[in-house]
Chains A and B, each alone.
Chain A
Amino acid sequence: EAGVTQFPSHSVIEKGQTVTLRCDPISGHDNLYWYRRVMGKEIKFLLHFVKESKQDESGMPNNRFLAERTGGTYSTLKVQPAELEDSGVYFCASSPMMGRTLNEQYFGPGTRLTVT
């Protein structure tokens, strides 16, 4: 079974530009989460999708960040316009809706975003 995948693995953009990150969850996982780790600090929650609906977006830093999950499969996270403080590693995770492992979140490899 394929794990969570993310694209790109690394992105370097200039301040003011736009970047779109993509996450493909494990097939069949209705829960999809975005997290961010900035400057070696803790991993912080951004938002949570259940299928195509935003369940919780309390961690989104501001309106420059837009997440979508059309069709309830893959998700995108767009940063527009990017600022220097947006640099960090963006992780995606997924988990099933039910079953013995419903709490277990499986992480993707992350996208390292560098804003210069």
Chain B
Amino acid sequence: GENVEQHPSTLSVQEGDSAVIKCTYSDSASNYFPWYKQELGKRPQLIIDIRSNVGEKKDQRIAVTLNKTAKHFSLHITETQPEDSAVYFCAAEGSARQLTFGSGTQLTVLP
């Protein structure tokens, strides 16, 4: 089955700096890669996703890149703000539509 590795597990950045979270996956058949943000006590919220027919997608301060050959994808947050502090999960969609998640990254943006 699919295996998704996520790094780092914790990340602290100064407000205004950039943050990068990286994930690798094992199943070359996976074609859909969402990223979720989970604030403390709240539901995981889909913030951006990418499909395998594109290499990069951007939405304001958030961007995701995908390298299908190397089977890795990354989340980039620029100009970080304190409200970006949360746990971020990457995921890969399997053939049966289920998501396999990474172990999560606790991002802390220091004011």
A11 at the interface (CB under 8 A from B): no
| A residues in contact with B46, CB < 8 Å | 104-107
A103 at the interface (CB under 8 A from B): yes
Smallest beta-carbon distance B59→chain A, Å: 14
Number of residues from B at the complex interface, CB < 8 A: 23
**Residue from the list A48, A108, A110 in contact with B98, Cβ < 8 A:** A48
Chain B: which residue is nearest A110 at the CB level? Answer: B43
What are 27 sample pairs from A and B whose C-beta atoms fall under 8 A apart?
A: A3-B43, A31-B97, A33-B99, A35-B101, A40-B104, A42-B104, A43-B44, A43-B99, A43-B101, A43-B104, A45-B98, A45-B100, A48-B97, A55-B97, A58-B96, A95-B97, A103-B32, A103-B34, A103-B49, A103-B93, A105-B34, A105-B46, A106-B46, A107-B36, A107-B44, A107-B46, A108-B43
B residues near A, CB below 8 A? 4, 32, 34, 36, 42-46, 49, 51, 89, 91, 93, 96-104
